[in-house]
Structure 1
């Protein structure tokens, strides 16, 4: 069987193993292991890369990989990663790390203000990958006295990682990049026992380049679910069509649950999100707020059948502005595991929002403020994206 190609990213690949990964030490231990074990090349794409302990820990691992003659390609967002210090950049480049910014502010050929690289992707040797919502900085890591924000990722071994390798390679934009030896990838994939193989596909959203695969995944979730849907999302502001499909799912008898942030790093977005609580509760959707730290995860599962996980938030910014990347997994055992993990989170670490406690904590002035935040965010999105042109 031939390896998947980037133009087949809409199709499922079969020869894969996967593992559910939480943010914090779990994620960064996996990331550092990927970097340390890379033999040919490693691609990394991140929205935020900061000049702190975690940033330097990853930078030192990349420098060591480059010194081992591994081809290292680090692509970060030109706006959100401006915090990388000149010292860090100089040391990375001196060691041979290839570093590129995605659309630096006011310096890119086709600059769109709201179009940012929101990917969080790592691919080593075209075989091992890590995709989720985790950025490279301390707040996503477990630091002394400060637990990591709640986030998740998917670790994948197999041909889906090869598809990701080509996505990263194409986005790098240099057609002269050396190709990797794929013989070991074919051998590895062929040796995955049939009963361990899991269906995985890469999904992208980039409205300017006419990619809306993740949007379609969520549309299918809301349209096709028969029993239950659970969404865990950091900035949950579904558009009109998604709200309609969610409402229709409830009317079909589907049990819908959303796990949202109790504390948020963007309070205006949280107030806007709470403006929708009245609609959610009226439509008999269970709402939970995570209480331990900031919730930053982005995933959904339905009917213990299919999971999507990655960088995509259920809002119009992810749908129409940012570049997003998710992985879809269609496997009952894995989906059931994710359902159980989300059940633990909602029952042990969340507050259930009811009509009574929502009403008692919300007065007319707070509702006006929430409505203002909701309208403001939608208007800002329109302001930043009205001039976007599809290519």
Structure 2
């Protein structure tokens, strides 16, 4: 691990009094989110990468509207690329209900090709909602129907499987760190407004929170990991590398877009050499072709090192989670250059054997029921066209990484 990565890992602020609930898929996440919003008394601050005006999006907007009618302060922050098609309509709805709304890095309306690629790829990819400063939801689930996978519905066919993803419901001292992160971004995006309305400064938490905050909710040790382009460039990757380096038994990683750098792949290979079982649950159904095929170009290296690869086949895999012995993480960060080098991300790191077992059992059940094991021999027999597409996608993604100035790491 590099010196900068070790320093990033040491900056984590651990809290020990949290209650953390694992939520698998929207069927668990959206009811919990809306219930928390409906119980809000003071504030709701929602950040997300995608917010679709489908049935789920309408349900969340209705909950936010009910909150504003009770006098709750509502803030919504959406990413300009992920919500390029829906942002204007959602802004109008939030304004009409009396909430506040901002778009992070709106897409340019004209001559977008003149905007440097590196700037346009710096997205708000994290998914954080805080309620009353007492409850936080952090994970990988956007505000979009799980069953809205972009595939056209078949007449009279049964509904398919939902998109596979996780989020966490948190109460305890960790929530204050999520509020702090949201408020810092809100200030950056609203300096002009805050100059005109100085009273609003009192609602913001701009200094790092002291812990513990308020009454303890549980006994789970956890930390909020952020990635940005200033102080937290390596925080999430460094935490992974530290955990992998100390792993003794099991590493299970489920990640939608898996294209880690050379240091990360070498760390996994060294873990296998120490006798650690390494399992990767990756995308089996194509969602974005370049990322899918670029990941498959790594299979030969990973399989020959002794890792097990399972491809999730029932639907699109969107999870960004891992279990490494008693260490676990759930969040928004993929293990690809766009998440690790450019985007704003948020993961929660949990140091708790019971939580790690719960997540591991969920992942193992998924691998057993929906995972297709990739065999090295069968993978080696794929046709020349598949090999060409994989190799070309690998090259194209590396060219994209080169635009970030980090091409040598991949």
2:151 is the alignment partner of 1:131: no
The answer for the alignment partner of 1:47 in structure 2 is 49
2:67 is the alignment partner of 1:65: yes
Alignment map for 1:168-247 (pairs within 5 Å): 168-173=182-187, 174=190, 176-179=200-203, 186-189=213-216, 192=217, 196-247=218-269
2:330 is the alignment partner of 1:315: no
Asked whether the 8 Å contact 2:233–2:341 carries over to 1, the reply is no
Q: 1:308 & 1:61 partners in 2: Cα distance? A: 28
SS of 2:124's partner is: coil
The answer for the alignment partner of 2:386 in structure 1 is 366
Q: 1:124 & 1:73 partners in 2: Cα distance? A: 11
Q: Which moved more, 1:292-301 or 1:214-223?
A: 214-223
Asked whether the 8 Å contact 1:288–1:351 carries over to 2, the reply is yes
Q: 2:11 & 2:57 partners in 1: Cα distance? A: 30
2:355 is the alignment partner of 1:334: yes
Could you tell me how far 1:148 is from its partner in structure 2?
Answer: 2.2
Asked whether the 8 Å contact 1:24–1:140 carries over to 2, the reply is no
Q: 1:302 & 1:91 partners in 2: Cα distance? A: 43
Q: Which runs of 5+ in 1 are unaligned?
A: 1-7
Could you tell me how far 1:209 is from its partner in structure 2?
Answer: 4.5
Could you tell me how far 1:89 is from its partner in structure 2?
Answer: 2.3
Q: Deviations over 1:248-291 (max 9, x none)?
A: 11111111000011113112211111111111110010000111
Q: Structure 1 pair 233/327, CA: closer, same or farther in 2 (3 Å)? A: same
With structure 2 as the length reference, what TM-score do the two structures score? Answer: 0.84
Q: CA RMSD in A?
A: 2.5
Q: 1:370 & 1:19 partners in 2: Cα distance? A: 38
The answer for the alignment partner of 2:172 in structure 1 is 158
Asked whether the 8 Å contact 1:140–1:151 carries over to 2, the reply is no
SS of 2:22's partner is: strand
The answer for the alignment partner of 2:395 in structure 1 is 375
Q: 2:98 & 2:133 partners in 1: Cα distance? A: 20
2:269 is the alignment partner of 1:269: no
With structure 1 as the length reference, what TM-score do the two structures score? Answer: 0.88
The answer for the alignment partner of 2:374 in structure 1 is 353
The answer for the alignment partner of 2:181 in structure 1 is 167
Q: 1:252 & 1:328 partners in 2: Cα distance? A: 24
Could you tell me how far 1:208 is from its partner in structure 2?
Answer: 4.2
SS of 2:284's partner is: strand
2:22 is the alignment partner of 1:20: yes
Q: 1:199 & 1:34 partners in 2: Cα distance? A: 22
